[in-house]
Amino acid sequence: MLALSRRRFITLVGGSATAACVRGAAAGGSAPPEVPIHFIPREGIFWDHWLFRAPDKKYHLYYLYEPPGVAEALRRKSWCVGHATSTDLFAWEEGPVALRPGQDTWVDRGYATGSTIDFGGRYAMLVTGYSLSGGQGMALAWSEDLDRWTVHGDGPLLSPPASGQWYETPDQMATNPPECSGWCDPYLVRKSGEEAVYAVINGRVRDGDMYARGSFALARTSDMVRWEMLPPLFVPGFCTRCETAQLFTRGGRWYLIASMWPKLLTAEFKAQHPDGRYAAAALCWTAERFDGPYQLIGDWALFPARSCYICKVIEAPDYGDAILTIRQGRVHGRPAAGLSPAYRVSFPPEGGIRIQYDQTLGRKE
């Protein structure tokens, strides 16, 4: 493990620490720099992340966190929700764990990815929850200050639908190969002018090729507790899962991001892209409307071939937008994963998200 003070940032490329962030490619058109690890917890394991910017402009980073000392049989199954804050997307202050399994809730095995939104004068977090009895679904937690969270109710919300109108039923999911699991990773979003909140879910449609059923399932609520299932927002048709989605609008367009390991993609899709750019931290689809159609156009491969996974876009503290990803590497000779620096992005007319690899956010020396 890497020992850090409560307020500390680092840059790690491979296994070596440097004094400041990599600032960009050298002059002369050389390849973009390797993405470094910029933040990791003082101890334990860091994984999937999401971001929220509070009204006071402070950034809240939530992430899956496995504390040290977890029994081997429960490794990577007993995730907590970790929490860190920043005012500039550069210096992160690690705080207390936001959610732990077993804290008088039905989530007694572990959490998985979710997202955070303001609702009715307080804050709501919808995360994936798992119980030791085999229960799975979305857990709702409430907070007044984004630091202390209380799980709502004694059972999951938005469990896999039993009717199977659009999505695989629990019985179908029980017989799927491991890489064809789903019903997790809710991302919360609003449409402009609507009070309703939508959840975009890593789901699977009930019909079609087993390895191409991955979909962006969709649900809607007016109170965060009672949810109406809707038809899929989008079905890419070439993946088993659509992991850790983000949906947002900029400049009148909608952008849909999801992460997919190459093993989750069909052979046909990979053959269509012999350059291998699908081996990216995430793919990005662009649409003119919330309900699509969504297309892989323009700069659709985010952080290709850089040992990164999962991306989240958020407003930068000064102007424009930034993107942060998870970098997998080695720290002190051991495998590790951590948060990247924040890179500026733009949204080109041809679609997708253009990452400015030579423009990371940071304090001036």
What does each C-alpha distance from 45 to 48, 65, 231, 289 come to in angstroms? 10, 6, 36, 38
Q: What's the pLDDT tens digit per position in 186-242?
A: 999 999 999 999 999 999 999 999 999 999 999 999 999 999 999 999 999 999 999
- Residue 248 CA to residue 96 CA, distance in Å, equals 29
- Residue 29: band (very low, low, confident or very high) from pLDDT cuts 50, 70, 90: very low
Q: How far is CA 17 from the centre of its chain?
A: 26
Q: Residue-wise over 150-188: b if at least 16 C-beta within 10 A, else e?
A: ebbeeebbbebbeeeebbbeeebbeeeeeebbbbbbbbb
Q: Residue 134: what pLDDT?
A: 83
Question: Rounded to 5, what percent of the chain is helix, strand, coil?
Answer: 5, 45, 50
pLDDT confidence tier of residue 2, bands split at 50, 70 and 90: very low
Q: Is the CA virtual torsion 99, 103, 104, 106 positive or negative? A: positive
CB 17 within 8 A of CB 4: no
Reported as half-sphere exposure (CB side, CA atoms, 13 A), residue 229 has a value of 20
- The one-letter amino acid at 279: A
The partner residues of 203 in beta bridges, in order of sequence, read 215
Query: Is residue 4 scored above 70 in pLDDT?
Result: no
Is the per-residue pLDDT at 20 higher than 70? no
Query: How high is the pLDDT of residue 309?
Result: 96
What pLDDT does residue 26 have? 29
pLDDT over 90 at 60, yes or no: yes
Q: How many CB atoms lie within 10 A of CB 249?
A: 15
pTM of the model: 0.91
Angle of CA points 212, 217, 219, to nearest 5°: 170
Query: pLDDT of 68-118, one tens digit each?
Result: 887 766 666 789 999 999 999 999 999 999 999 987 889 999 999 999 999
Beta bridge mates, 336: 329
Kindly state the tokens that stand for 129: 């929850």
Strand 214-221 versus strand 227-234 pairing type: antiparallel
